[in-house]
Structure 1
Amino acid sequence: MATSQLTASSMTVSARNLASFEGLRPSIVKLSSFGILKPGSLTQRSFKGLVVKAAAIVAPKYTSIKPLGDRVLVKIKEAEEKTEGGILLPTTAQSKPQGGEVVAIAIGEGKTNLESSVKTGAQVIYSKYAGTEVEFNGSSHLILKEDDIVGILETDDIKDLKPLNDRVFIKVAEAEEKTAGGLLLTEASKEKPSIGTVIAVGPGTLDEEGNRNPLSVAPGNTVLYSKYAGNDFKGNDGANYMALRASDVMAVLS
């Protein structure tokens, strides 16, 4: 019989005897919880179409991880447990970290770039769904491609992000409060803006000879970008920011 353990943010389910998990060895699989699980509601149908993403656990006998190719190893930053006002957050309200510290970089044969864009010890921000999570030495790590690193962050404020390669960092324009006819809009009816001001740009991608190809936008440009592109962030100033690839910028407005 399947067993379950509920917490405020997740549920832990034994994979044994669940047909939906056929092929998994009997182990504990952690799933995101989006609602309240009622007694007796844990059925095969409940897991139809559910994607399980569990971290790989590295046994204690292994003392180091050496990334290969164009990959880097990042120690994931822990999620914030309190608001700036000191209020404790339940795990469900804690945003998943998108940053951490680079602890290892692939070197030597198999390296695609002539020089790495990041260094060991750098604090970086990476794409939301990038890489493979690994539990190592009691901490959560991520092995990801260097190109999935959005930028380097040397402070605690996302507005100071230094984008890498072909990334563009944008301060999103505020949503319109009224219609053209002067009607006030509710939060739910405000359309998500896809216009913003470029704050910083990366140095461009490297060609085969190691030369940088500069980007076609510059800091200060007001741009129109693809609506569902990139990664969005909330700054300490309350403003919304977006990091995306230069190819997702569709036009410069003036």
Structure 2
Amino acid sequence: MASIRFGASSATLSSFEGLRPSEIRVASLSPSSVGLAKRSFRGLAVRAATVVAPKYTSVKPLGDRVLVKIKAVEEKTVGGILLPSTAQTKPQGGEVVAVGEGRTVGKNKIEVGIQAGAQVVYSKYAGTEIEFNGTNHLLLKEDDIVGILETDEIKDLKPLNDRVLIKVAQAEEKTAGGLLLTEATKEKPSIGTVVAVGPGPLDEEGSRKPLSVTPGNTVLYSKYAGNDFKGSDGTEYITLRASDVMAVLS
């Protein structure tokens, strides 16, 4: 719920018990500020996360949902340069804090296949962000988790469900005619080598359906699908659903 304030007056919508309303503050309006040249937006502030009141000491996810403590945003580059807030990359990983009891598929009860303490990578725009115990968390479905990180290297990611981890092929340095391409004119490749695959999606009876691609396959995938990652050595990777893999090349 939101609280919208104009100057000294305010209008507050009712909120659920234990959740503090987010606030949107707008600069005070006056007759002299109507013109575009004099309009000011310095008072604009938006708070996205839902804040859980301190009196609540735990959050228990329901069904196949997972509570993840979000990894802190990098404030500096590898070389130590301080990044402005506009240049800081939104994290896509964190630590699992709690999991739900699972869900029922057909006649089978399927437990969440992730345990508390696991380091995971999730889809960029998934879940609901909440501020709990002074720390940002994400409450999302198990299917929104791309995989489990067993080391600090993205190449060691263990994909979940129908996800596939692909090492992206390097962009062509030259055209077919031999012309050298600049960084701005290099086309982003949509070809890569499969590094790892998940166990497959669940069918109507709760059984896993193996994926049609295997590690080592060179594949063509949808250009705008998935989530991009970069390894410590600069190698580019992408994780996507198996349905976004369009062909196997040989």
Structure 2 length-normalised TM: 0.81
How many corresponding residue pairs?
223
Q: Percent identity?
A: 74
Q: Please tell me the root mean square deviation across aligned C-alpha atoms, in Å.
A: 2.5
**Which structure has the greater CA radius of gyration?**
2
Q: Contact 1:205–1:212 at 8 Å: present in 2 too?
A: yes
How much has 1:24 moved relative to structure 2? 6.3
- Match for residue 72 of structure 2 among 67, 75, 78: 78
d(CA) in 2 for partners of 1:173 and 1:80?
A: 27
How much has 1:189 moved relative to structure 2? 1.3
Residue in structure 2 matched with residue 104 of structure 1 by the alignment: 98
Residue in structure 1 matched with residue 87 of structure 2 by the alignment: 93
After the TM superposition, which segments of 4 or more aligned residues of structure 1 sit over 3 Å from their partners? 22-30, 38-43, 110-113
Q: Contact 1:70–1:111 at 8 Å: present in 2 too?
A: no
Change (3 A) 1:160 1:29: farther
Structure 1 length-normalised TM: 0.80
d(CA) in 1 for partners of 2:198 and 2:76?
A: 32
Q: Which runs of 5+ in 1 are unaligned?
A: 1-13, 31-37
Q: Which runs of 5+ in 2 are unaligned?
A: 15-20, 26-35
One-letter amino acid matched to 2:232: N
1:56-71 alignment, distance < 5 Å: 56-71=50-65
d(CA) in 1 for partners of 2:13 and 2:39?
A: 22
Residue in structure 1 matched with residue 5 of structure 2 by the alignment: 16
- Match for residue 175 of structure 1 among 166, 171, 178: 171
Change (3 A) 1:53 1:178: farther
Describe the SS at the equivalent of 1:227.
coil
How much has 1:158 moved relative to structure 2? 1.2
Q: Contact 1:230–1:243 at 8 Å: present in 2 too?
A: yes
Which structure is higher in strand share?
2
The farther-off stretch of 114-123 and 86-95 is 86-95
d(CA) in 2 for partners of 1:23 and 1:167?
A: 43
One-letter amino acid matched to 1:170: I
Residue in structure 2 matched with residue 34 of structure 1 by the alignment: none
Residue in structure 2 matched with residue 234 of structure 1 by the alignment: 230
Q: Contact 1:194–1:225 at 8 Å: present in 2 too?
A: yes
